[in-house]
Amino acid sequence: MASPHLSRSKFKMKQSVQALDTENQPKEFRATAFIQFKTEWIEADRRYERMTPEQEKICADLGRKLAEAGVEISVTVSERKDGFDIRDFPKVMQFQMYTNKTEPQKEKSNDVEW
């Protein structure tokens, strides 16, 4: 089996997640993903620095290329367990992510309107 193209070795849920609803049926969730560059954290503003226009263009181009190629991303979330081989971590969710339709890129103007 090939190694994953993308991964994150550890993350924490922001709240407990229940798999079943009150009628014991599987709950539905929504997943979103963004292609982005890692930018610096601005503590004073409590946010990350914006990407440069060049970085934004690269990300938009990558998104369009993924869509044109018909690529989908398979996501698996596994629970980390001490003493377990990573291949034996219990899977808690698995789903596919698909590219969204993109609008043709509009040229940004540097003109300021008053």
pLDDT tens across 48-72, in order? 999 999 999 999 999 999 999 999 9
pLDDT tens column, 20-42: 999 999 999 999 999 999 999 99
Please give the pLDDT value at position 101: 79
Q: Over the chain, what HEC string results?
A: CCCCCCCCCCCCCCCCCCCECCCCCECCCCCCCCCCCCCCEECCCCEECCCCHHHHHHHHHHHHHHHHHCCEEEEEEECCCCCCCHHHCCEEEEEEEECCCCCCCCCCCCCCCC
Q: Residue 61 falls within a domain, yes or no?
A: yes
For residue 83, being part of any structural domain is answered with yes
Residue 109 lies inside a defined structural domain of this protein:
no
pTM of structure: 0.72
Would residue 70 count as lying in a domain? Answer: yes
Domain interval for residue 46: 41-98
113 part of a folded domain: no
Residue 27 is assigned to a structural domain of this protein: no
Q: How many domains does the chain have?
A: 1
Mean pLDDT of 83-112: 77
Question: Is 107 domain-assigned?
Answer: no
